[in-house]
Chain A
Amino acid sequence: MSDVLNLTLKIWRQANSEDRGGFQTYQLSGISTHMSFLEMLDVLNEQLIANGEEPVHFDHDCREGICGTCSLMINGQAHGPDRETTTCQLHMRRFNDGDTIVIEPWRARAFPVIRDLVVDRSAFDRIVSAGGYVSVNTGNAPDANSLPVPQQDQEKAMDAAACIGCGACVAACKNASAMLFVSAKVSQFAVLPQGKPERDRRVLRMVAQMDEENFGSCTNTYECEAACPAAISVSNIARLNREYLRASLTSDA
């Protein structure tokens, strides 16, 4: 296998949210297979600037797979071909010399494009503010070990809490549903004793906000789980549905 790649990139360019947008094709040569995908885009941008063209805008920050900022559809797959891997952790050794790579932004009505590959995911923040928390003011907490939590519950909570909020689940879903994201936050608190007092109100309000943000419905195709870089399981969606049903039937909230 060659250590250096020559690539054709088809990248979505859109000047602003009003612009219609379209694909532009770029040729890139001499890409080392050790580069990360975003470093490959850095090289492209340096080339564009040298030619007096506007660089491609894309969201990124930590470049170590945890902040959830990077967000690219790569050849039709959210975060590209590797399982449990964000775009920033995808490396060029996954591609072959001569490949054509198609790069698009997340596509969802709830995530409008701001420019090129950058989208607005503030809908997720509004969903969290509708109940993704335990209501405990600073200074009110009892000693941490006064509340034992069974290790298996803690592990389940951690599995759900690992969500990085990137939105790949929405982008991968044919309905642009946010159920995996919402279910991860609901699940984290549903399995912990700290979350019990607000259990009903939380799930009802978060789901209502999700609907208000124009996310689609879940039809159980599991694309979200396949795309999720943090390995959030669809079993959380089942738990969300149970929590929602329970709260709807029993809650007077």
Chain B
Amino acid sequence: MAQVMASTLDSKIPDGPINEKWDNRKNELKLVSPNNKRKYEVIVVGTGLAGASAAASLGELGYKVKAFCFQDSPRRAHSIAAQGGINAAKNYPNDGDSVWRLFYDTVKGGDFRAREANVYRLAQTSNQIIDQCVAQGVPFAREYGGLLANRTFGGAQVSRTFYARGQTGQQLLLGAYSALMRQVDKGNVKVFPRREMLDLVVADGMARGIITRNLVTGELETFTANAVVLCTGGYGNAFYLSTNAKGCNVTAAWRCYRRGAYFANPCFTQIHPTCIPVSGDYQSKLTLMSESLRNDGRVWVPKQADDSRPPHEIPDEERDYYLERRYPSFGNMVPRDVASRAAKERCDSGFGVGDTGQSVYLDFRDAIARDGIDVIRAKYGNLFHMYEKITAENPYDVPMRIYPAVHYTMGGTWVDYNLQSTIPGLFVLGEANFSDHGANRLGASALMQGLADGYFVIPYTIGDHLASTKFDAVNEDHPACASARNDAANRISEIMAVEGQRSVDSIHRELGQILWNYCGMSRSAEGLTEAIDSIKKLREEFWTNVRVMGTGEGLNQNLEHAGRVADFLEFGELMVRDALNRNESCGGHFREEYQTAENEALRDDENFCYAAAWEFKGVDEEPVLHKEELTFDYVPLTTRSYK
């Protein structure tokens, strides 16, 4: 049983009614005067939506910013792959939307495990994001009259999603990247690409810098600053197969955890219902098909188990449109966790289709008959093209086959309302933090959160830290820097010194299998207990038998991967421990022992209405659990229903 500490966590939620909290906080926060801003240095790690928007906005304010990414250009961060859209409470369609409804839907969608005050602020800032992006020249879809178009996403009964074809993430990221490059031109931001953060420098209890590996030269570099902003995304690649880019990793966040930043709700992972199914054991990643497709596509399986007829030979009355059957009011637009579990249930019961029986149909036949092929092509052309590239099947003629895959991680570094972690001076934004999506994220909300944090929250809250702190000089000769640099160097030498037999990739795949089987869509105490053991053994295997080619000098992609897998092997255990601790089912966390008679998630608000924040005690030691009790003063705790 995990050791539990009396809560020392101060979430710093502002006073006042929920709709006034953010204004109240902004009024209390200390300011740094314009001429003093240039005296402060800020490090931003990661250049996705959160990182690029934060670095650009802080640069505009006059801070001296250094931005880091492991990619060869800041424009390539994985936010770029987000397809469907970004939510905002504009209510342009006049269909009854409001800040309140977006707030309500997000709290409910997160199955009551998010922090109410953060979610309300997110909904409040959503409209400004759209304004900002349009001003930057982001080409959102428009109606013939020249005004912005909207579409619907899962878990909502209004159309509040703005989009740029199936490339919304790309266009928003390029907008933020452009703003970032403008600050580079002005000399306020310096970008360091092909750098991997290997450690956090904590001096006198405060985050004061980072250690990076220059991926081209292999050199370990030290950068100091007055604050560090972590925008390094999620940890979905712990599962090996996910919709994340191959480079996505937990290393930066994990290094901060090891330096004292609590890690919250690691077991909250989102399995996205509409991905292209696994086709073979060589598979290197899974590809998402945007949730927006469920606006026009209908999900079904044959009514008869093991029906091997091709889909067009199965008449309507022999098809089970199971989402429409089980959830008549939301139908195909139920939230992701619900849709994923329903697909798994059908496949596990023998109704799955395709060679492996591990997929369901997403069928556009009726939409094409209703709207014509041109309308469907205009909406989803690039997604259909991508599907055909990968599967060699034409979705205009035959239904897509889809299956759930790991996509997004709601858990992350614990932060207070100001987005500051338990290490003063370390702020965490976007997917890397834990606060806004609870146990399940609604579609088109990740882009919203990344940009809200970067454009509209951190520019206010970081100033308070800078203005209220007296900084001692910390340069790269400071003992804290030297020791962090030393630790990073030793870890690389230790990995290189193993000289075993197994490739990094094979160990990573095995870890992914363990997590998918025991900590994936369905979890049990028995399986999770077994998984902790398996992960420990695999970690031991890594440190005694991994084979990494080359040297620590120069570009070495094999070594980069090894370092990330070494951290996933520690992180994976924490994820499983968190899942084992949470004796309830909520959102993406489904424990087989806790379900209703109709196989829906059974939450336990009496005992588990808290965020689980874990404190590092050593690699082979049990972490300590700190609970942040969650209160729901505005959206009453109810059983989520989409029926």
Give the docked Cα–Cα distance between A205 and B375 (Å): 40
Inter-subunit contact A46/B555 (CB<8 Å): no
Inter-subunit contact A149/B142 (CB<8 Å): yes
**Partner pick for A55 among B143, B147, B181, B558, CB 8 A cutoff:** B558
Task: Report the nearest B residue to A65, measured CB to CB.
Answer: B386
Scan residues 106-164 of chain A and give those whose CB is less than 8 A from a CB of chain B.
Answer: 114-115, 118, 120-122, 124-125, 128-145, 147-151, 154, 157-158, 161-162, 164
The interface stretch among A33-41, A168-176, A213-221, A244-252 is A33-41
Contact digits for B38-76, partner A, Cβ 8 Å, 1 yes 0 no: 000000000000000100110010000000000111111
Decide yes or no whether A208 CB sits under 8 A from chain B: no
Known contacts A132-B181, A138-B455; A63 and B284 CB within 8 A of each other: yes
Give the docked Cα–Cα distance between A35 and B283 (Å): 7
Inter-subunit contact B282/A42 (CB<8 Å): yes
Known contacts A91-B392, A144-B90; A154 and B73 CB within 8 A of each other: no
Closest beta carbon of chain B to A227's beta carbon, Å:
16
**Partner pick for B72 among A82, A89, A122, A154, CB 8 A cutoff:** A122
Inter-subunit contact A142/B131 (CB<8 Å): yes
Residues of B within 8 A of A154 (CB): 139-142, 146
Scan residues 90-144 of chain B and give those whose CB is less than 8 A from a CB of chain A.
Answer: 90, 92, 128, 130-137, 139-144
**Partner pick for A115 among B60, B144, B555, CB 8 A cutoff:** B555
Closest beta carbon of chain B to A145's beta carbon, Å:
5
Decide yes or no whether B456 CB sits under 8 A from chain A: yes
Give the docked Cα–Cα distance between A127 and B267 (Å): 42
Decide yes or no whether A253 CB sits under 8 A from chain B: no
Known contacts A49-B547, A139-B132; A38 and B137 CB within 8 A of each other: no
Inter-subunit contact A194/B136 (CB<8 Å): yes
Give the docked Cα–Cα distance between A190 and B550 (Å): 48
**Partner pick for A138 among B90, B139, B245, B456, CB 8 A cutoff:** B456
Decide yes or no whether A105 CB sits under 8 A from chain B: no
Task: Report the nearest A residue to B555, measured CB to CB.
Answer: A115
Residues of A within 8 A of B455 (CB): 138-139
**Partner pick for B178 among A65, A89, A133, CB 8 A cutoff:** A133
Residues of B within 8 A of A139 (CB): 128, 132, 455-456
Give the docked Cα–Cα distance between A138 and B136 (Å): 10
Give the docked Cα–Cα distance between A50 and B503 (Å): 7
Residues of A within 8 A of B80 (CB): 62, 66-67
Inter-subunit contact B182/A35 (CB<8 Å): no
Decide yes or no whether A85 CB sits under 8 A from chain B: yes
Decide yes or no whether B268 CB sits under 8 A from chain A: no
Inter-subunit contact A129/B76 (CB<8 Å): no
Most buried by A among B74, B76, B139, B169: B139
Inter-subunit contact A145/B92 (CB<8 Å): yes
Inter-subunit contact A63/B246 (CB<8 Å): yes
Q: How many residues of B contact A (CB 8 A)?
A: 81
Decide yes or no whether A81 CB sits under 8 A from chain B: no
Give the docked Cα–Cα distance between A149 and B144 (Å): 9
Inter-subunit contact B147/A137 (CB<8 Å): no
Give the docked Cα–Cα distance between A243 and B243 (Å): 40
Residues of A within 8 A of B179 (CB): 133, 136, 138
Residues of A within 8 A of B282 (CB): 32, 35, 39, 42-43
Give the docked Cα–Cα distance between A89 and B287 (Å): 11
Decide yes or no whether B164 CB sits under 8 A from chain A: yes
Decide yes or no whether B492 CB sits under 8 A from chain A: no
Give the docked Cα–Cα distance between A59 and B266 (Å): 30
Decide yes or no whether B216 CB sits under 8 A from chain A: yes
Inter-subunit contact A46/B503 (CB<8 Å): yes
Inter-subunit contact A147/B555 (CB<8 Å): no
Closest beta carbon of chain B to A121's beta carbon, Å:
6
Decide yes or no whether B193 CB sits under 8 A from chain A: yes
Decide yes or no whether A239 CB sits under 8 A from chain B: no
Inter-subunit contact A151/B142 (CB<8 Å): yes
Residues of A within 8 A of B146 (CB): 148-151, 154
**Partner pick for B386 among A54, A60, A64, A129, CB 8 A cutoff:** A64
Inter-subunit contact B135/A125 (CB<8 Å): no
Closest beta carbon of chain A to B216's beta carbon, Å:
6
Task: Report the nearest A residue to B215, measured CB to CB.
Answer: A114
Give the docked Cα–Cα distance between A124 and B191 (Å): 13
Decide yes or no whether A57 CB sits under 8 A from chain B: yes
Inter-subunit contact A140/B72 (CB<8 Å): no
Decide yes or no whether B280 CB sits under 8 A from chain A: yes
Give the docked Cα–Cα distance between A85 and B389 (Å): 8
Residues of B within 8 A of A138 (CB): 53, 56-57, 60, 132, 179, 455-456, 459
Scan residues 235-293 of chain B and give those whose CB is less than 8 A from a CB of chain A.
Answer: 243, 245-247, 279-280, 282-285, 287-288
Decide yes or no whether B410 CB sits under 8 A from chain A: no
Known contacts A62-B80, A151-B143; A49 and B558 CB within 8 A of each other: yes
Inter-subunit contact A49/B280 (CB<8 Å): no
Inter-subunit contact A64/B287 (CB<8 Å): yes
Inter-subunit contact A144/B181 (CB<8 Å): no
Decide yes or no whether B145 CB sits under 8 A from chain A: yes
Contact digits for A209-235, partner B, Cβ 8 Å, 1 yes 0 no: 000000000000000000000000000
Interface residues of B (CB under 8 A from A): 53, 56-57, 60, 71-76, 78, 80-81, 90, 92, 128, 130-137, 139-148, 164-165, 167, 169-171, 174, 177-179, 181-182, 184-185, 191, 193, 216, 243, 245-247, 279-280, 282-285, 287-288, 385-386, 389-390, 392, 455-456, 459, 503, 505-506, 547, 549-550, 554-555, 557-558
Not counting A66-B167, A67-B81, A138-B60, a sample of 17 additional A-B residue pairs whose C-beta atoms are within 8 angstroms of each other reads A16-B554, A46-B503, A48-B549, A49-B547, A66-B170, A67-B76, A68-B76, A69-B71, A125-B181, A125-B191, A133-B181, A136-B135, A138-B132, A141-B135, A148-B147, A158-B164, A165-B75
In the A-B complex, the 4 residue pairs with the smallest Cβ-Cβ separation, listed nearest first, are A148-B146, A133-B178, A141-B135, A141-B131
Task: Enumerate 15 A-B pairs (CB-CB under 8 Å) in ascending A order.
Answer: A34-B280, A42-B282, A49-B547, A53-B549, A55-B558, A61-B247, A62-B246, A134-B136, A136-B136, A141-B134, A144-B131, A145-B147, A158-B164, A161-B164, A194-B136
Interface residues of A (CB under 8 A from B): 15-16, 32, 34-36, 38-39, 42-43, 45-46, 48-50, 52-55, 57, 59-69, 82, 84-85, 89, 91, 93, 114-115, 118, 120-122, 124-125, 128-145, 147-151, 154, 157-158, 161-162, 164-165, 188-189, 192, 194-195
